[in-house]
Amino acid sequence: MLYLDANATRPMEPGAAEALCRALSELPGNPHSPHQLGRKAAAAVEDARERVAALVGRPARQVRFTSGATEANAWALQGLRRAAVERGGGPARVLCSAVEHPSVLCQADERLPVDARGVIELDAVEQALDRPGVAVLSVMAANNETGVLQPLPELARLCRERGIPFHCDASQLPGRLDCADLPADLLTLSAHKLGGPKGCGALIGARLPPPLLCGGPQERGDRAGTVAVPLVHSFGVATTLCRPLEDELQRQLEAAAKELGATVLGEGAPRLPNTSALLFDQPGDLIVMALDLEGVCASTGAACASGAAEESHVLRAMGLRGLPVRLSWQRETPVLEVLPVLEAVLERLRSA
């Protein structure tokens, strides 16, 4: 198998997988129990908190663990909307880019346009922020489908000048690029996107919104529910294994793909070095199925939309049509091995 779907989920780092298995047997206690096994579990959680915080260059006191990025995004956006309503007494709007993950889009009242590369239009952002009743702006660090990076410093500045909170889903950044200085008030991370376990994430910020889940004192009173200690411990270990990637393989892959007739989505914009979204003259879902039969795991875009057989909202926002093939990888993946397989698949489909 050649695994080229790392943006959907990365295979676990061996060190993180080992830590998870070890924690399942060695950390049975509830971290809120007063006995020694409870204290041992609590120490593991706090160690993970320190490690996750170090990844993004924040103090550990800002980190709260969640069940994943979807919960963290819901907490950030619903919480900030509720806080704004309580302060102002009127409607409070959530703004986002038109290319956000569905877990953000479903919370938003207004989707701001992007250009043909998939980069948010700053003039539109500025105009939207100047309208009354804005509770928060949410823009992802890197698009999960195209890998396009958004202008976070400029967005943070526009929000800061108006006193509006800025939330950033940074789930795709760790393990691809450095993420130690992201200028957002609230950050979302997902463990399984960076080589950790599924079912764990984090919301990070100096001033967290009101809790989404209540009923217990866990996570310093901000998120009720027993902490999933093995997942959190493994998450922390995985963050220490993140290293930025180079883009040489991406350049080689895309040069060869263009020789096969591909259009590279987001070309010309800053992008993640591990992501190539390619649009061919053949439907992307057929290409992905044919690649799968040859032992290559790829996708047409976001995993949450798999099987929908409809065009991506990201492509529509960029003014494009069709189903692309998204290839995304992690360190030490022999990416270029896909090229002869892709060429053979395209030849078969075109001749058919």
Distance CA 68, CA 75 (A): 11
Render 186-242 in DSSP notation, one character per residue: EEEEEGGGTTS-TT-EEEEESSPPSPSS-SS-TGGGTS-S---HHHHHHHHHHHTT-
3-state secondary structure (DSSP) of residue 32: coil
Q: Is 304 noted as a catalytic residue in this protein?
A: yes
Q: Are strands 263-264 and 296-297 parallel, antiparallel or unpaired?
A: unpaired
Distance CA 283, CA 323 (A): 6
Query: How is residue 12 annotated by DSSP?
Result: P
Q: Count of alpha carbons within 13 Å of 4, Cβ hemisphere only?
A: 30
Distance CA 260, CA 304 (A): 28
Q: Measured between alpha carbons, how far is residue 140 from residues 98, 162, 252 in Å?
A: 10, 20, 27
Q: Are strands 201-205 and 186-190 parallel, antiparallel or unpaired?
A: antiparallel
Distance CA 7, CA 141 (A): 13
Distance CA 219, CA 96 (A): 27
From the candidates 21, 106, 214, 304, which is the catalytic residue? 304
Residues 6+ positions from 271 with CB-CB distance below 8 Å: 142, 146, 147, 148, 149, 250
Q: Are strands 325-328 and 275-279 parallel, antiparallel or unpaired?
A: antiparallel
Q: Measured between alpha carbons, how far is residue 111 from residues 7, 130, 243 in Å?
A: 23, 15, 32
**Sequence letter at residue 185:** D
Active-site residue list? 304
